[in-house]
Amino acid sequence: MQRLLNVKNLSVDYGAIKALKQVTLHVDENEIVTLIGGNGAGKSTLMRALSGIVPASGAVEFLGEDLMPVSAHKRVSAGIAHVPEGRQVFPDQTVLDNLLIGAYLRKTSRKKLEQEIDHFFDLFPRLGERQNQVAGTLSGGEQQMLAICRALMSKPRLLMLDEPSLGLAPQIVADVFKIIRSLREQGITILLVEQMANQALAISDRAYVLEVGSIVMQGTGEELLHSEKVREAYLGKQ
Ligand code: ATP
């Protein structure tokens, strides 16, 4: 299996706050890897550091290339897409325009992009039906689908999803997890941050537990799902 992402001793400080302390992890091609951890553990910070929107120290390699000197927008071109917490679609733009914006760094004809968008509309008919609706008026679940599809329009090798289930009804959460599995079947590698640890671990090849900026545990999804410590700390209420 090819190593896609290799992170060594990654640290991020926000002023006096050490949000990440010497984090070492990796993601192989076609894996689903989940980060679990309590509030403020540093999960979102790790994703922001990998997408290059917060300064970090340490080493990050993507497909063997040093990513540290690479700007945030060049990381998108290199194949890293990030769906941040809270979805953040462009609320005043239509569904269709949101998707086209997702492809803005690609040198592909509009016709080809529209074919790709039609493919998403086949997969997610609700987005197709609403393609001319402004994104801010979509339901929470529809916005999450749109945010994921917009990220996919950059043709990523690695898709980072930060709490995709946040604020969604249980039935829609189940759909989101189904989508994540089907993306992996299409060859996309996924790094996932989730509070729904039970469901996330159940679809993960491997996972890491982050506590106050440090990795304290790692294993297969199955191992962590059955770990006493993880069950007590993160799975109790689900
Ligand atoms: P949650 O599950 O609550 O979203 P998280 O694991 O994603 O948490 P982060 O958002 O990465 O955690 O935050 C890690 C730490 O860094 C927290 O203590 C947070 O208060 C702090 N932090 C995050 N962003 C900033 C910022 N822009 N300025 C200062 N401190 C920050």
Q: Residue ranges per domain, the chain? A: 3-85+156-235
For residue 180, CA distances in Å to 136, 200, 222 come to 23, 10, 17
Question: What average pLDDT does the chain have?
Answer: 93
Q: Bigger pLDDT: 168 or 191?
A: 191
The complex scores an ipTM of 0.95
Task: Indicate which residue's Cα is closest to atom 8 of ligand 1.
Answer: 40
Report the separation in Å between the CA atom of 20 and the middle of ligand 1, taken as the mean of its atom positions.
Answer: 10
pTM to 2 decimal places: 0.93
pLDDT > 90: percent of the chain = 76
Pocket test for ligand 1, best of 10, 12, 44, 51 (most atoms within 8 A of CB): 44
Quote the ligand 1 centre to 45 CA distance (angstroms): 6
Structure confidence by residue, pLDDT tens digits, 110-139: 899 999 999 889 888 999 999 999 999 999
Q: Average of pLDDT values for 228-236? A: 84
CA of 43 to the centre of ligand 1 (A): 8
Amino acid at 172: I
Q: Which CATH architecture has domain 3-85+156-235?
A: 3-Layer(aba) Sandwich (3.40)
